[in-house]
Amino acid sequence: MSGAQNAPGAPAGSGADDRKRADARRNIEAIVEAATRLLAVDPDASVSEIAKVAGVGRVTLYGHFATRTTLLREVVDRAIDQTDRTLAGVDFDGAPREALGRLLEMSWQLTHRFGALVVAASGTLPPEEIRRAHDQPAERVRLLLERGRTDGSFRADMPIEWQISVIQAVLHGASAAVHRGEITADEAPELVRSTVLAALAG
Amino acid sequence: MSGAQNAPGAPAGSGADDRKRADARRNIEAIVEAATRLLAVDPDASVSEIAKVAGVGRVTLYGHFATRTTLLREVVDRAIDQTDRTLAGVDFDGAPREALGRLLEMSWQLTHRFGALVVAASGTLPPEEIRRAHDQPAERVRLLLERGRTDGSFRADMPIEWQISVIQAVLHGASAAVHRGEITADEAPELVRSTVLAALAG
């Protein structure tokens, strides 16, 4: 969270300073939140548009994030953190097909919220940082697929890498279909779940 | 094919003019072919790089295509033409699952050849032109899915729009997986076929 910390060693305790720091924190949160929402729908959203939606001036925004890339990196870092935390809360035990169903449900929410944002970042941030957004989730899916391929829950006649790609493709495809108005965000989780489970059925 | 025509009313018959025209046609073909190949792997390929691979000078290239956008439009137009002609040759009759298998095989080749190129164009050409690349193919798939949903070959408990999205997502996902080296281009068609048929099974 590069831009989000207070200056280390800043004097604490003065009321005016406390208020300033609280203001700064609120502004940073508003900027990151606005950037997350805007970039998810419009990958080319400008710093001015983000500042406007955040309700802060351009000067204030640049005071916290010196460049658009710095802001983008912060937004992606937080998206990855939230993704990791959310997926860590998913129950991976029990029948593999049901566990994958639960995982897909959460993954759909995260993909729909952050997917276009990661695409937005792909022109600006180095590929390694983009890959980080998928590595951890992919690792969890892999462990689950391995278990399900062993007990016959999932087909084992295709590479596991391919099955992970299919899951990611269907999740991103669903998000794009919602943006195009072909399906609703309410229908998406169940469509993703039943499509992926059918594609992977053992 | 905006840049590809001879000037209307140009005097015909002189040997020197014929040779010039033949040279121009050869250059145009080389430029479009080079642009198609380069842009499919590197969406940001420059006009200079394209000229180099085509074996022509920058001045010659700009003589035929005044801007990078003009060249990009020509490349996309030809990709769409070739897609339409190729898919028109697919046998859509007979059992829906087998017909879809044949269609997926051809679609895979086209997606892998032109998919990244359409992505490359998406920053430069208006969305309507990009949509054209998918409208005709999607229409053929729709007719086939409708027939297969009626006779029980394909499941009918999800929107047909969604099923078309899944097919496009798996095709593009396979192309990306080949580019990442996760599967080979040889494995891809069969993986696409069996995955999509399982996902849509009635």
Give the CATH number for residue A196.
1.10.357.10
Domain match, B107 and B190 both = yes
- Looking at residue A154, what DSSP letter applies? B
Measured between CB atoms, which of A158, A161, A172 is closest to B169? A172
| HSE, side-chain direction, 13 A CA sphere, residue B165 | 24
Residue B201 φ/ψ, nearest 5 degrees: -55, 135
Instruction: Provide the mean pLDDT of chain B.
Output: 86
Q: Of B47, B64, B81, at which residue does a domain stop?
A: B64
Q: Which of B19, B48, B64 is at the close of a domain?
A: B64
The answer to whether ipTM exceeds 0.95 is no
pLDDT band at B110 (very low <50, low <70, confident <90, very high): confident
Tokens of A134: 């998928």
Which has the higher per-residue pLDDT, B137 or A28?
A: A28
B187 with A159: Cβ contact below 8 A: yes
| CA B172 vs CA A70, A160, B23, B115, B177: distances in Å | 30, 18, 37, 7, 9
- Statement to judge: residues A34 and A94 lie in one domain: no
Which residues in A lie closer than 8 A to residue B201 (C-beta atoms)? Answer: 198
pLDDT of residue A143 exceeding 80? yes
The answer to whether residue B6 scores a pLDDT higher than 50 is no
Does one domain contain both A77 and A60? no
Instruction: Bin B93: left if φ > 0, else alpha if -120 < ψ < 50, else beta.
Output: beta
Query: Do B88 and B156 belong together in one domain?
Result: yes
| Percent of all residues in chain A with a pLDDT value above 70, rounded to a whole number | 86
- Of the two residues B178 and A124, the one the predictor is more confident about is B178
Q: CA-to-CA distance for A197 and A53, rounded, in angstroms?
A: 39
Point out the residue among B169, B176, B194 whose CB comes nearest to the CB of A170: B169
Nearest-CB residue to A182 (from B161, B195, B200): B161
Q: Tokens at residue A196, please?
A: 């992926």
Residue numbers of the domain that contains B25: 2-64
Q: Same domain, yes or no, for A100 and A130? A: yes
Q: Which residue matches tokens 């080079």?
A: B34
**Number of structural domains found in chain A:** 2
φ, ψ of residue A201 in degrees (nearest 5): -55, 135
What are B179's two structure tokens? 């580019």
- Structure token digits, residue A12: 């604490």
Q: b/e for B187-202, b at 16 or more Cβ within 10 A?
A: bbbebbbbbbbbbbee
- Res. A7: pLDDT tops 70: no
* Chain A neighbors of B187, CB-CB under 8 A: 159, 162
CB atoms within 10 A of CB A157: 8
Instruction: Report angle CA B113, B169, B201 to the nearest 5 degrees.
Output: 115
Residues of A in contact with B165 (CB under 8 A): 173-174, 176-177, 182-183
A82 lies in the same domain as A177:
yes
